Amino acid sequence: MSSTTASPSAPSKHMRRVVGASVFGTALETYDLYLYGTAAALVFGPLFFPDSDPTAATLLSLSTFAVSFVARPLGAIVFGHFGDRLGRKQMLYFTYLIMGISTFLIGLLPTFDTIGVLAPILLVAMRFSQGFGFGGEYSGAVLMLTEHAPPAKRGFYAGLNNLGPVAGFVASSGLFLLMNTVLTEQAFMAWGWRVPFLVSILLVGAGLYVRTKVTESPVFKEQQAKAVTTKPGLPIAAVLRHHWKPLLIATGANISQFAVFYLFSVYTLTYGVDELGLTRSTVLWAVIIAILTNIIAIPYASALSDRIGRRKVLLTGFAITVVWAFPFFALFNTKNFGLILVAFIVLMISYSFVYGPVASFMSELFPTSVRFTGSAVAYNLAGILGAAFAPIIATLLMATYQSSSAISIFMIGITLISAVAVLLSRETRDLDLNHTDEPRATKGRP
Q: What is the pLDDT of residues 328-372, one digit of tens each?
A: 999 999 999 999 999 999 999 999 999 999 999 999 999 888 898
Q: What CA–CA distance (Å, rounded) separates 128 from 71?
A: 6
Q: Taking CA 317 as the corner, what is the angle to CA 315 and CA 322, rounded to the nearest 5 degrees?
A: 95
For residues 201 and 248, the model is more confident at: 248
Pair 305, 356: CB distance under 8 Å: yes
Single-letter amino acid code for the residue at 91? M
Q: What CA–CA distance (Å, rounded) separates 328 from 401?
A: 18
Report if residue 439 sits inside a domain: no
* pLDDT score recorded for residue 248: 96
For residues 228 and 337, the model is more confident at: 337
Report if residue 2 sits inside a domain: no
* pLDDT score recorded for residue 226: 67
For residues 36 and 102, the model is more confident at: 102
Report if residue 428 sits inside a domain: no
Range of the domain at 168: 12-225+234-423
pLDDT in tens, 24-74: 878 887 888 778 877 877 777 788 877 666 666 666 766 676 787 788 889
Report if residue 436 sits inside a domain: no
* pLDDT score recorded for residue 302: 96
For residues 121 and 2, the model is more confident at: 121
Task: Report residue 6's pLDDT band, with 50, 70 and 90 as the boundaries.
Answer: very low
pTM > 0.95: yes or no: no
Pair 344, 55: CB distance under 8 Å: no
Cα distances from 433 to residues 126, 148, 156, 394, in angstroms, run 36, 10, 15, 39
State yes or no: pLDDT of 125 exceeds 80: yes
Task: Report residue 441's pLDDT band, with 50, 70 and 90 as the boundaries.
Answer: very low
Cα dihedral 373/207/161/366 (nearest 10) = 10
pLDDT in tens, 259-288: 999 899 888 988 998 899 998 889 989 998
* pLDDT score recorded for residue 353: 97
Report if residue 322 sits inside a domain: yes
Report if residue 154 sits inside a domain: yes
For residues 321 and 167, the model is more confident at: 321
* pLDDT score recorded for residue 8: 41
State yes or no: pLDDT of 107 exceeds 70: yes
* pLDDT score recorded for residue 9: 45
Task: Report residue 435's pLDDT band, with 50, 70 and 90 as the boundaries.
Answer: low
Pair 99, 134: CB distance under 8 Å: yes
What is the number of structural domains in the chain? 1
Which CATH number is 159's domain given?
A: 1.20.1250.20
Q: What is the average per-residue pLDDT within 8-12?
A: 49
Report if residue 274 sits inside a domain: yes
Eight-class DSSP state of 232: P
Report if residue 415 sits inside a domain: yes
Q: Taking CA 62 as the corner, what is the angle to CA 56 and CA 67, rounded to the nearest 5 degrees?
A: 125
Q: What is the average per-residue pLDDT within 154-183?
A: 87
Q: What CA–CA distance (Å, rounded) separates 218 from 65?
A: 36
